[in-house]
Amino acid sequence: MNVYRKNLIVQLLLFIIFIVMGAYTIVEFYLRADYPWIGFILLGLLLSVGVYGFYLYRKPDQRVCIITEKEMLYLRYLLYGYFIVYVIDMILPSIIQTINQGILTLITGILLILIAMAGTIIQLRVLRTGKGKE
């Protein structure tokens, strides 16, 4: 399947942001009380990557990369998995009152980072071996 290279680069930026968001869930839980301004760092990072991604997307680039159906399927399942883990991290403490919040945050943060890293590796492999053409 042919995909514009700029779309793959924007998706790569999103997976990198997902890595940061996974790390942020852990950092926020343990450092929020000491450093209440830490949320503004994530917000600034998200805004700057969003502006950069918009710039890359609007940039005229007609190069095409080839991505297989298998890679598309992996990326789809990784995004579904990321969403499910993120929602579990938000909802589970309100459903189960006795759950250890620290352990849950650590486990979900690590899972989010691993899922996003797998997506980043797939995106980089597609960009590197996608045999882009004009």
Query: How many contiguous H segments (helices) and E segments (strands) does the chain have?
Result: 4, 2
Q: Which tokens hold the place of 15?
A: 């997976």
Predicted structure pTM score: 0.86
Tell me the per-residue pLDDT of 94-112, one tens digit each, with 9 for 90 and over: 998 888 989 999 999 999 9
Instruction: Reduce the DSSP state of residue 68 to 3 states and report it.
Output: coil
82, 120 contact by CB (below 8 A): no
Q: Which of the pair, 73 or 53, is modelled with greater confidence?
A: 73
List 133's β-bridge partners, or say none.
64
How far from 74 is each of 62, 68, 79, 111, 115, CA to CA, in Å?
25, 10, 9, 16, 11
Type of residue found at 122? I
Tell me the per-residue pLDDT of 86-97, one tens digit each, with 9 for 90 and over: 999 999 989 988
Number of other CB atoms surrounding residue 47 within 10 Å: 10
Cα–Cα distance measured from residue 30 to residue 75, given in angstroms and rounded to the nearest whole number: 30
